[in-house]
């Protein structure tokens, strides 16, 4: 048994859950032996920082996307998107499997730390925010993410001239 | 899927020379994939960046991420947040908890899952 107070074994629970639902082939989670590492090339107070989210822009007409909404596949997106960081976007998480029992999803700052990043810039903790944030589509296919979405996100981050990126799953 | 997606993207950016840090809740998924830097909050999924309406918790988790960008000694550096969601840890049992599902509700969930998969497929193919 897992330690009930330890980290939640999400991979095991997902496997058991979908097996119980009758789906025979367990999902293979991405796994790599080697991990790349690029030290930050300049002090953070001079660095430009980007933000990548898996949250989705609110889309009128595709059903309930509000706090506590049931899983809403119609609100999913399949292309990388970008938005300006000098305004507050309306991003929702009804399209992903967050903990609907214990998470209110009423405060965007719990999954999209743009306001906190702006504070860090104002405090001189980081040099600047990238002009845009970027949205990463959540896809079951590792290949789609690795071969299509990640290269597109890299291209946009390069255009933004970022030194570092904060990534926040919903 | 969110945690795996950002893990794969972080690896891709890092391999091209951009420093990355992930703030997240699903420790096993991120560490199984293998990422450069990770701030782990033992919170329910959906609160990667802090507790709702608790600005101090959000500031603290972001600061941990920034410090990790500056100081991680190498890849696979995980820093656990010292914050806890609640003194009562029973919330951890609830996510995808099969013990609470009757055979009828399992059948119902399967039907719902097939429906949302069909909606997602339609959207993906239209994208």
**Average of pLDDT values for B28-46?**
97
Task: Check B1 against A139: CB less than 8 A apart.
Answer: yes
Answer whether B62 touches A (CB < 8 Å).
yes
The residue of chain B with its CA nearest to that of A16 is B98
Q: What's the ipTM?
A: 0.96
Nearest to A145 among B9, B23, B62 (CB): B9
**Is residue B56 less than 8 Å (CB to CB) from chain A?**
no
For B64-91, write each residue's pLDDT tens digit.
Answer: 999 999 999 999 999 999 999 998 998 9
Question: Residue A113 and residue B4: Cβ atoms within 8 Å?
Answer: no
CB pairs under 8 A between A and B: 265
Residue A126's pLDDT band (cuts 50, 70, 90): very high
Q: What is the mean pLDDT of residues A53-81?
A: 93
Which pTM was predicted?
Answer: 0.95
A18 Cβ partners below 8 Å, 6+ apart? A26, A27
Cβ neighbours of A21 in B, within 8 Å? 106, 109-110, 113
Q: Which residues of A touch B59 (CB under 8 A)?
A: 116, 119
A1-10, A55-64, B12-21, B111-120: least confident range: A1-10
Q: Which residues of A touch B12 (CB under 8 A)?
A: 146, 150-151, 153-154
DSSP state of A66: S
Residue given tokens 């507790």 in the structure block:
B51
Assign A2 a pLDDT band (cuts: 50, 70, 90). Answer: low
Task: Report how far residue A61's alpha carbon sits from residue A76's, in angstroms, rounded to the nearest whole number.
Answer: 13
Non-local (6+) Cβ contacts of A8 within 8 A are B26, B27, B28, B92, B95
Q: Give the residue from chain B lying closest to A71, CA to CA.
A: B116
pLDDT at residue B101, as a whole number: 80
How many whole angstroms separate alpha carbon A127 and alpha carbon A109?
21
List the structure tokens of A111: 């999954």
Cβ proximity of A114 and A133 under 8 Å: yes
Write out pLDDT tens, residues A81-98. Answer: 999 999 999 999 989 889
- B127 — pLDDT class (breaks 50, 70, 90): low
Flag whether pLDDT at A1 surpasses 70: no
Rounded Cα distance between B22 and B10, Å, is: 8
pLDDT at B119: 87
Per the CB < 8 A criterion, the answer to whether A153 and B20 are in contact is no
What pLDDT is attached to residue A150?
98
Mean pLDDT calculated for residue range B21-37: 98
């Amino acid at each position: 048994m897992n330690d009930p107070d330890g980290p939640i074994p999400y991979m095991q629970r997902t496997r058991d859950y979908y097996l119980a639902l009758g789906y025979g082939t367990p999902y293979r989670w991405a796994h790599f032996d080697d991990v790349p590492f690029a030290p930050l090339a300049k002090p953070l107070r001079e660095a430009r920082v980007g933000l990548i989210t898996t949250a989705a822009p609110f889309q009128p007409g595709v059903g309930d996307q509000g706090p506590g909404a049931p899983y809403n596949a119609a609100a999913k997106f399949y292309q990388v998107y970008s938005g300006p960081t000098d305004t507050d976007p309306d991003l929702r998480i009804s399209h992903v499997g967050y903990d609907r029992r214990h998470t209110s999803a009423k405060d965007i700052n719990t999954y999209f730390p743009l306001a906190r990043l702006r504070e860090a810039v104002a405090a001189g903790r980081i040099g600047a925010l990238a002009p845009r944030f970027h949205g990463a589509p959540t896809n079951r296919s590792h290949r789609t993410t690795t071969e299509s979405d990640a290269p597109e996100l890299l291209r946009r981050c390069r255009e933004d001239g970022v030194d570092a990126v904060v990534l926040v799953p919903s | 899927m969110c945690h795996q997606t950002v893990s794969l993207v972080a690896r891709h950016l890092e391999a091209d020379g951009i420093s990355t840090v992930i703030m997240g809740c699903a420790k096993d998924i991120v560490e199984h994939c293998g990422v450069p830097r990770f701030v782990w909050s033992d919170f329910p999924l959906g609160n990667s960046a802090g507790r709702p309406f608790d600005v101090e918790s959000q500031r603290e988790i972001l600061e941990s991420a920034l410090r990790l960008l500056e100081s991680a000694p190498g890849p696979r550096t995980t820093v656990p947040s010292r914050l806890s969601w609640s003194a009562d840890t029973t919330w951890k049992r609830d996510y995808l908890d099969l013990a609470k599902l009757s055979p009828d509700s399992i059948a119902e969930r399967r039907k719902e899952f097939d429906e949302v998969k069909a909606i997602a497929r339609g959207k993906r193919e239209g994208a």
